[in-house]
Structure 1
Amino acid sequence: MDHLEPSISRTRISSILDAGDARVGEHVVVGGWVVEGREQGRGAFAFFKVSDGSCPAALQAVVEAGVLRGAPLARLTPMGTSLLLEGKLKKPLRNSKERVELHVDRVIEVREVDDAYPLHKSMTKPENFRDLVHLRARTNTISTVARIRHYLAYLTHEYFHKSGFFYVHTPIITTSDCEGAGEMFQITTLFSQGDGTIPRKGDGKFAFENDFFKRQAFLTVSGQLQDVMNYAESYIQYLCKGLLEYCEKELEFMDKKCAENGTTTTERLRLVSSTPFERISYTEAVNILKDAKEGTFENAIEWGNDLASEHERYLTETVFVKPVIVYNYPKEIKSFYMRLNDDQKTVAAMDVQ
């Protein structure tokens, strides 16, 4: 049997930085890639920042030349170099912005990058990374979004589990049964062309005696729209509260990157998580939009038309200044399976704006 090296227990950089100076004096092993580095003191030592993707910030590390036993410190400083380091956490100098830094006493692994490494500091726009899918997770913006998406998925499962729901795997539409062990049923649109072959009664209506239900059957839903609106509101608020709890550093980073109409992401999450949603019918929404100042919208407001993005933003940002649930839409603009209301014009459907 081939010999396997024992695994090395690493410490997440996020746990070090979150603790501030509380972990000063600890001996730790960290791994990640260099986001910036430089030599100082004529090659006597090097400073560089290491990120492992666990948080937006990076851990500053200090290495003296003697640690590498004659190898040049320049091996460690290029952006993108992958490192596994062991050392002691210490307080930095007084004029440093860092609260803690790693003084390296052993470089366990070094994986260098060549001059063709495509990431560099001047690449700040997302479109620059479209052809670098395998590397873009190393950028702060993409990794921050990935961590937020992780917590959204986690919170979604947690919310529905706590609410008494079960997660089920639905059948997958596929064109082949690759391993021959699946039980497949056919999906086709050709049967709709076979109306002429279905037996009919004397009055011209289809004869359903040989069908599964022995009578005409339809796909529909029950009229529990109030419950759906309640769950939608509490689910969204649960997500917002969870992000505020788990993603504080990520939200701080996003707040610096972008603010919409002078409002930060954190402020919007706090508003949504603590404010009851407004609930209005589609007809009420149309009447409110028609009362808006002439020239406010590019898209016409007519009963029976779907609400455009500018209409939704006007309701949420100008009229109510909070999320809005619009319900009872015209049947012509919603799916066929929606429950028809008593007015025969609208269906029991809802959207969160």
Structure 2
Amino acid sequence: MAFKEELSSANMETHQQEESTVKPHIPNSNYSKRVVLKTLLDREDGGLGLVGQKIVIGGWVKTAKENRMPIFRTFLKLFGVGHYQGQKEKELTAGIVQRVQQPVLSTVVLQITDGSCIASLQVLVESTLAPPGQIMLGGTCILVEGVIQKPETSGKHIIEIKAEKVLHLGVVKDQEKYPLSKKRLPLHSLRDWAHFRPRTTTVASITRIRHALTHATHNFFQQNGFLYVQVPVITTADSEGCTNKFHVTTLVSKPTHESSNAFDEVSGVSLASVKNALKEKTNKLDELRRTDSNREALLAAIQDLKKTNELASQLEAKEKKEKANSKTDQLDFMNDYFSCQAFLTVSGRLHLESYACALGNVYSFGPRFKAQTIHSTRHVSEMWMVEAEMAFSELEEAMGCATDLLKHICKWVLENCPNDMKFILKRVDQSIVPRLQTVVSSYFEKIPYCKAIDVLKQAKENKHDLNIEWGVPLTEEHERYMADEIYKKPVIIYDYPKEVKPFYVRQNDDGKTVAAFDIIVPKVGAVIRGSQNEERLKMLSTRIQELGLSSKQYEWYLDLRRHGTVKHGGFSLTFDLIVLLATGISDVRDVIPFPRSYGKLSN
């Protein structure tokens, strides 16, 4: 029996040893033969348990350094030659150098990232595998096959890759023209290179957080039984009575081939700047004529002035033509593509209502457009909105759903983006995590519009510059002051004057206010605007007439009240402002992948 027990114990030990020698599986990226860096670096052991395994990894070079080892020193070491002194050493060294022509071996140490996580991976590449001058440039794309090993020297890296093959090398052609060659460019400078800025650590982190917020949004609605509905981007309806709309038309006259060639060279140049240049060149020519300048310089100045005059003439002609074409009131929209006026949508809530009145609770997620000719850190021309509509819902239910959504997505990003949030906390905003935790855990202060006015008037008496009277819309300054300074937490303001809200919002019994609400959060301002919508046909028709809106445009919308009307409510969440809330970034243009703002459309 004792022998059997010893044999059984020996077998178990052998089995355990065999299990311990089985290497853990490293999954490749889907649809690629490489391993994503997050798979290695986000392990609890930092990848230490994977040492010795051969993998393929790829990414972009962040930083690099070269460790050189001259061959003649290696040769001397191999033959046990020590450090010679005096002329003998110089002669011996010079002889060897002359024969081998100073060949140099080196190891390039790269820090690369593939965008999957904050951390970078250290990769060692021998100069025999790739020219150091190419792979050391920041922004170079490299794909290598190599072995995971422990670094020889202690540091922040737990593992590194010793490259055995370079499978792909995407070199930077001109380092001077590559915008990220300079370290730590400010975010506002990166806007000019929106196609490159995702390679920066900050923008990559913002993008991952934005992705998590998107996932959290869909997750909330799916968990709560909402159906996802795509609403149109092109519409005939003015959803909010907004005058700043983008027109969609094919009626704008196209320049002839001859004239378009003439204007190709002047596109992007303003007439005012050319006129200023014209004055400067004229003064310069006069100065050359007064002095004893050489004939070549004088002729060059005359030729330059002539070209500038021609450019000014072309721009003046172009400006006159554009003014003539901009008179949309003279366009016959019956001959347009849709045979009527069409716009880029400002809001999808009206269209979403038709599905809510048939399917119950629905939501949409997409771009909305406003042609505002202002420069703002909170708004651009194209912003992404989350919109929800709920049948049989009144104001309280709509406010409750909006509150739950906001809490859900803030909690989600705290729980699912720990490394990115640590980076944001360190590099962008040290108060970001406490602020998000406040949104998740606090009770939102709920006050009617009339009380908000009284609170702001008291602030004005305390020498704050917050001019406010009943009946006027609250500004960004008003909203943020209440959340930041007075309540220091999210605030819900409801029952606004009907004049400051869209025509479709349900009127209250007092005849002055409507069942609308805004949710305002510290630092960012209003991130959600919602309402209970008017289900009474007569009240809605009267409101359309009062505002001078085209009743023909809204016949389909009125039909929802004529045939099986239902009480319903909903809201719009400005998704890009939620990204501001989650990252602490101060300008919305820095959290949108390709921002479109007044006077700026680069990509």
Give the TM-score normalised by structure 2.
0.47
Report Cα offsets for 1:228-284 as digits up to 9, x if no partner: 11111110111111111222222122222222xxx5222211221122211111112
Instruction: Say which SS state the counterpart of residue 305 (structure 1) adopts.
Output: coil
- How much does 1:341 deviate? 0.6
- How much does 1:93 deviate? 4.0
- Between the aligned partners of 1:307 and 1:23, the Cα distance in structure 2 is 58
Change (3 A) 1:223 1:159: closer
Instruction: Say which SS state the counterpart of residue 342 (structure 1) adopts.
Output: coil
Instruction: Say which SS state the counterpart of residue 130 (structure 1) adopts.
Output: helix
Q: Does the 8 A contact of 2:149 with 2:161 survive in 1?
A: yes
Q: Does the 8 A contact of 1:38 with 1:47 survive in 2?
A: yes
Aligned to 1:24: 50
Give the 5 Å matches for 1:243-282.
Answer: 243-259=413-429, 263-282=430-449
Query: What value does the CA root-mean-square deviation take over the aligned residues?
Result: 2.5
Aligned match for 2:108, one of 42, 46, 49: 46
- Between the aligned partners of 2:414 and 2:48, the Cα distance in structure 1 is 23
Q: Does 1:146 align with 2:313?
A: no
- Between the aligned partners of 2:202 and 2:422, the Cα distance in structure 1 is 12
- Between the aligned partners of 1:123 and 1:136, the Cα distance in structure 2 is 11
Aligned to 1:13: 37
Q: Does the 8 A contact of 2:456 with 2:466 survive in 1?
A: no
Aligned to 1:232: 402
Q: Does the 8 A contact of 1:39 with 1:74 survive in 2?
A: no
- Between the aligned partners of 1:323 and 1:186, the Cα distance in structure 2 is 46
Letter in 2 for 1:95: S
Aligned to 2:220: 159
Change (3 A) 1:90 1:121: farther
Instruction: Say which SS state the counterpart of residue 300 (structure 1) adopts.
Output: coil
Give the 5 Å matches for 1:176-325.
Answer: 187-188=340-341, 224-259=394-429, 263-292=430-459, 294=461, 296-325=463-492
- How much does 1:79 deviate? 0.7
Aligned to 2:505: 338
- How much does 1:159 deviate? 0.9
Q: Does the 8 A contact of 2:410 with 2:440 survive in 1?
A: yes
Q: Does 1:63 align with 2:230?
A: no
Letter in 2 for 1:63: V
Letter in 1 for 2:417: C
User: Bigger CA drift: 287-296 or 164-173?
Assistant: 287-296
Q: Whose radius of gyration is greater, 1 or 2?
A: 2
Q: Does 1:109 align with 2:109?
A: no
Percentage identity across aligned positions? Answer: 38
Q: Does the 8 A contact of 1:21 with 1:91 survive in 2?
A: no
Aligned match for 2:146, one of 82, 87, 90: 87
| Higher normalized helix content (fraction of residues) | 2
Aligned to 1:34: 61
Aligned to 2:369: none
- Between the aligned partners of 1:147 and 1:247, the Cα distance in structure 2 is 8
- Between the aligned partners of 2:107 and 2:509, the Cα distance in structure 1 is 79
- Unpaired segments of 5 or more residues in structure 2? 1-30, 70-104, 236-247, 251-336, 343-390, 521-603
Change (3 A) 1:296 1:91: farther
Report Cα offsets for 1:61-105 as digits up to 9, x if no partner: 122345x1xx43333211111111122222324531122222222
- Unpaired segments of 5 or more residues in structure 1? 1-6, 178-183, 190-220
Q: Does the 8 A contact of 1:23 with 1:89 survive in 2?
A: no
- Between the aligned partners of 2:155 and 2:184, the Cα distance in structure 1 is 26
- How much does 1:123 deviate? 4.8
Aligned to 2:100: none
Give the TM-score normalised by structure 1.
0.79
Q: Does the 8 A contact of 2:460 with 2:466 survive in 1?
A: no
